[in-house]
């Protein structure tokens, strides 16, 4: 399938309307190209539109049934979503601003030392932050054993989730074939997936739990949940272990690559749009000065930087077709019959490129999000980029806070520009967008990341 097929569905949407009904390998599928339809279905009819497509390969054979992202809506999901939502909500996660700032400064130092390795630094930084927040586990490199485990698991899961990758998802009785049977090679893949799923859930959690019970010093999502168990029952039961290990592991799976991908798009945008970069830096220089780095409380005073982040989410959606929902029961909408268990894809790409909401949508223009007399403010892209209804991303407040700090810190300290050839002329970056699974990000491209001044470099050492 064309890796950019959401763009084709956007074109089909222009021809056939805001809702497209398809059948793929016998599976009914609806693609939603309009924000209003997404709200009608995912929010106003949320009891019916909050399931996920089920997968024999993923949920049953690879035993990812603890991963709340893949679960259908119900008691099991609510039990796992509630602690994640509570921990990552804005008022609580603000208590972790010190951790977000420390991790952002670690990234600045790495960029100063070896700017050409920025891709690796960004991935390490995103992994390090989410590991600190969920487990209080500090990592030194992208090769940390827990990070490696999470990376391998995520890659394995992405392959398993690809539609049509395994016939057993269309013909479930194939799961009963013995491993040696011709065509039952999927069992070998499934066994490896089940091992990774089990390790990812249990290894970082039990390692952290033991550390916390010995010496409860580092605050984290794990320590908070363990403390709650101890205060209620004086012990952590097996049921508690099941919930805590599942809720913490899912944060890494969902939170590391997504944040890294947004920062990669940000660097790409800054390389391609120096005038936007300069305007954001001017705002930071004027409001914050050069004696400190920004804090979350500065956000209201930095409206252009906030608008810049919105435009990154709009122009470069990392999940162009969102994450698939599914219907529980049959429904009719606008005269269409939508069967039970239909896969429902919110086409974020089409919604964020809607010219009625965002005039000249292909242009990268943060100032479309600045107030202007007589003009209605366009819809905040974060209302789309983080999904809808009961399955909306529970990490949204944390992602938004940490991305704001990262973006404003990088802009305060570095100039990002096109690389130069030997004669000092700009080299046009060769930008390739890589789609893996449902997510996409730019591959590493040639650019220059240089400290803006000696004061700027000193700021990193100082903080």
Least distance in Å: CB of 23 to ligand HEM? 22
Interface with ligand HEM, residue 399, by CB under 6 A? yes
Q: How far is the CB of 454 from ligand HEM (least distance, A)?
A: 33
Q: Which residue has the tokens 């089990």?
A: 198
- Quick one: 245 or 460, whose CB is closer to ligand HEM? 245
Judged by beta carbon, residue 258 or residue 277, the one nearer ligand HEM is 258
Residue 442 sits in the site that holds ligand HEM (CB under 6 A): no
d(CA 211, CA 216) in angstroms, rounded, equals: 7
The region of 151-159, 328-336, 361-369, 393-401 touching ligand HEM under the rule CB under 6 A is 393-401
Out of 251, 268, 344, 411, the residue judged to bind ligand HEM by CB under 6 A: 251
Is 251 marked within a binding site?
no
Distance CA 327, CA 51 (A): 6
Select 250 or 288, whichever has its Cβ closest to ligand HEM. 250
Instruction: Note whether 146 binds ligand HEM by CB under 6 A.
Output: no
Work out which of 386, 404, 414, 445 binds ligand HEM, going by CB under 6 A.
386
Between strands 27-32 and 325-326, the pairing is unpaired
What are 24's two structure tokens?
A: 């793929």
Q: How far is the CB of 404 from ligand HEM (least distance, A)?
A: 11
Question: What is the C-alpha separation between 149 and 264, in angstroms, rounded?
Answer: 22
Rank residues 29 and 323 by Cβ distance to ligand HEM and give the closer one.
323
Interface segment toward ligand HEM; rule CB under 6 A; list 172-180, 236-244, 249-257, 367-375: 249-257
Stretch in the footprint of ligand HEM (CB under 6 A) among 176-184, 252-260, 293-301, 302-310: 252-260
The residue among 64 and 386 lying less far from ligand HEM, judged by its C-beta, is 386
Per CB under 6 A, does 41 bind ligand HEM?
no
Taking CB under 6 A as the criterion, the residue among 30, 57, 68, 104 binding ligand HEM is 68
Cα 409 to Cα 26, 295, 314, 344, 376: the distances in Å are 49, 9, 21, 38, 30
Choices 150-158, 278-286, 319-327, 359-367 (CB under 6 A): range interacting with ligand HEM: 319-327
69 near ligand HEM, judged by CB under 6 A: yes
- Residue 439 binds ligand HEM (CB under 6 A): no
State which of residues 31, 254, 308, 345 lies at the interface with ligand HEM (CB under 6 A): 254
Site size toward ligand HEM (CB under 6 A) is 28
Per CB under 6 A, 319 contacts ligand HEM: yes
Q: Which residue has tokens 């030997």?
A: 422
Q: For ligand HEM, which stretch binds (CB under 6 A), given 163-171, 189-197, 254-262, 337-345?
A: 254-262
Answer yes or no whether residue 322 interacts with ligand HEM by CB under 6 A: yes
Backbone region of residue 430 per phi and psi (left: phi > 0; alpha: psi in -120 to 50; beta: other values):
beta
Q: Does 64 bind ligand HEM (CB under 6 A)?
A: no
Residues of the binding site = 393
Binding site for ligand HEM (CB under 6 A): 68-69, 81, 84, 88, 250-251, 254-255, 258-259, 262, 318-319, 322-323, 325, 385-388, 391-395, 398-399
Detail the residues annotated as belonging to a binding site for heme. 393
């Amino acid at each position: 399938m064309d890796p950019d097929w959401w763009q084709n569905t956007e074109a089909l949407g222009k021809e056939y309307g805001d809702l497209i009904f398809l059948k793929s390998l016998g599976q009914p599928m609806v693609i939603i190209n309009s924000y209003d339809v997404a709200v009608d279905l995912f929010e106003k009819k949320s009891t019916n539109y909050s399931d996920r497509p089920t997968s024999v390969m993923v949920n049953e054979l690879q035993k990812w049934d603890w991963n709340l992202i893949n679960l259908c809506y119900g008691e099991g999901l609510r039990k796992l979503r509630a602690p994640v939502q509570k921990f990552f909500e804005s008022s609580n996660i603000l208590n972790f601003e010190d951790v977000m700032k420390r991790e952002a400064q670690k990234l600045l130092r790495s960029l100063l030392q070896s700017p050409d390795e920025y891709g690796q630094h960004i991935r390490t930084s995103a992994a390090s932050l989410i590991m600190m927040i969920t487990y209080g586990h500090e990592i030194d490199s992208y090769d940390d054993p827990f990070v490696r485990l999470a990376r391998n698991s995520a890659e394995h899961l992405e392959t398993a989730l690809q539609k049509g990758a395994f016939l057993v998802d269309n013909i479930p009785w194939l799961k009963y074939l013995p491993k040696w049977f011709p065509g039952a090679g999927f069992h070998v893949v499934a066994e490896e997936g089940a091992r990774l799923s089990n390790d990812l859930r249990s290894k970082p959690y039990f390692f952290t739990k033991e550390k916390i019970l010995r010496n409860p010093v580092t605050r984290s999502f794990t320590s908070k949940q363990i403390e709650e168990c101890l205060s209620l029952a004086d012990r952590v039961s097996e049921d508690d272990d099941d919930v805590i290990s599942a809720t913490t592991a899912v944060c890494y799976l969902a939170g590391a690559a997504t944040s890294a991908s947004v920062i990669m798009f940000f660097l790409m945008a800054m390389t391609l749009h120096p005038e936007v970069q300069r305007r954001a830096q001017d705002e930071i220089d004027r409001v914050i000065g050069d004696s400190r780095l920004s804090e979350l409380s500065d956000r209201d005073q930095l409206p252009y930087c906030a608008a810049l982040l919105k435009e990154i989410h709009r122009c470069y959606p990392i999940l162009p077709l969102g994450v698939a929902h599914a219907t529980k029961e049959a429904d009719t909408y606008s005269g269409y019959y939508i069967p039970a268990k239909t896969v429902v894809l919110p086409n974020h790409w089409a919604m964020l490129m809607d010219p009625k909401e965002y005039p000249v949508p292909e242009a990268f223009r943060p100032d479309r999000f600045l107030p202007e007399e007589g003009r209605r403010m366009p819809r905040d892209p974060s209302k789309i980029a983080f999904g809808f209804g009961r399955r909306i991303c529970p990490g949204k407040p944390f992602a938004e806070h940490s991305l704001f700090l990262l973006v404003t810190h990088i802009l305060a300290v570095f100039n990002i520009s096109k690389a130069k050839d030997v004669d000092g002329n700009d080299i046009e970056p060769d930008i390739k967008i890589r789609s893996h699974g449902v997510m996409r990000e730019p591959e590493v491209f040639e650019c220059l990341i240089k400290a803006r001044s000696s004061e700027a470099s000193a700021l990193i050492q100082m903080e």
